[in-house]
Structure 1
Amino acid sequence: MAEAWYMDSVEGDQRRPHRLTPDQPAAPQELGVFYWKLNADIYETDPELERIRKDQGYSYMDIISIHKDTLPNYEEKLKMFFEEHLHLDDEIRYILDGQGYFDVRSKDERWIRIAVTKGDLITLPAGIYHRFTLDETNYVKAMRLFAGEPVWKAYNRPADDFDVRQKYLASLQEPGERTVSCLR
């Protein structure tokens, strides 16, 4: 798994690591986050990437470069990516160059920061609250993968009433635990 840690709550530049002192490592795989380390230098012909795409049903892909010189409305897009949100489908990103951070909410609502660098392929499950930011290098080139047609819609928090959010929360329950829901 990529390096991950619980974040501090210090205000300031979102691109900084925001580690607690002492450091508190985290395990985002317990939240349904999947991770592979691949050779990004051969992404166009990589049989391992092709196997993962086939096994996971990732039929669509495109590439995005996030840098002030390559992304139209750069500042606006960075702010949008950093808004806490969820998606109705998994978010799958393969870092081809550069580096950044995916932040995900833990079971107890704390932020976990996941550092992603060249060669990291990460899948955030549908319904997980998350956000993305660059690190201080201000650059990432990523492959965006989807199972089927791409859906670009993000739903900012609060989105707790969405079925996908309820299914995600249910997937985190320990055997024998019960999910409490409100009926209106």
Structure 2
Amino acid sequence: MVQFYYHDNKDTLENFTEPHDSGKPVTQEELAAIGVIYKYITTQQELDALAKEREYKNRDVVNLNLAAFNNDLDAYNAKMQQFYKEHYHDDEEIRYIVDGEGYFDVRNKGDEWIRARLEKNDLLILPAGIYHRFTLTDGLKQVKAVRLFKDEPKWEAINRDSGKESDARLSYAQSIAV
């Protein structure tokens, strides 16, 4: 079952896959106010209809688990830390969870982290330019997700600490300005 809540901001490099639930829930309306859309999709037809509606022409499937890294724990941990580094993309990011579970964290208007705990059949759409990060849950530590793309897959992660602010980031920041 999907959960949205404020992150407790007590994460470290050792425990970022833990729930970090502050006890303060977040509504889907609060997410919508920052451009984040959640849907529960149970069939391929629903997923295909959403892709057509949003003009997504390409897709791929990503498997994140230790086996995907040939059981190389160092490589797996390095990739998880890379995904957890705060970043944005110049394109919308759509993830549909086919199996497993994970956390997407997004920044709200007040620059606070909101955590979305997603599992099978959950779909999250993040607008271009929103700061976010991803990790697997501490329990299952695996996810299989469909990624949707408008054109050819391209996911340059622009890390917040780089200081780079593309047109997509500036446009997004303006769209949620308080």
TM-score by length of 1: 0.85
For residues 20-54 of structure 1, give each alpha carbon's deviation from its aligned partner in whole angstroms, at most 9, with x where no partner exists. Answer: 1xx11123222101111011xx4xxx221111010
Name the counterpart of 1:178. Answer: none
In structure 2, distance between residues paired with 1:162 and 1:152: 14
Query: Quick check: which one's helix share is greater?
Result: 2
Name the counterpart of 2:128. Answer: 126
State the one-letter code of the partner of 2:105. Answer: D
Between the aligned residues of both structures, percent identity stands at: 41
Q: Do structure 1's residue 28 and structure 2's residue 31 form an aligned pair?
A: yes
Higher-Rg structure is 1
TM-score by length of 2: 0.88
In structure 1, distance between residues paired with 2:117 and 2:31: 11
Name the counterpart of 2:68. Answer: 70
CA RMSD of aligned residues (A): 1.7
State the one-letter code of the partner of 2:66. Answer: K
Name the counterpart of 2:6. Answer: 6
Name the counterpart of 2:156. Answer: 153
**1:44-59 pair list within 5 angstroms:** 46-59=44-57
Give the total of aligned pairs: 167
Give the conservation status (yes or no) of the 8 Å contact 2:109–2:177. Answer: no
Name the counterpart of 1:182. Answer: none
5+ residue gaps, structure 1: 175-184
1:173 Cα deviation after fit:
3.4
Give the conservation status (yes or no) of the 8 Å contact 2:158–2:164. Answer: no
Name the counterpart of 1:92. Answer: 94
Which secondary structure does the structure 1 equivalent of 2:148 belong to?
A: strand
Which secondary structure does the structure 1 equivalent of 2:18 belong to?
A: coil
Query: Quick check: which one's strand share is greater?
Result: 2
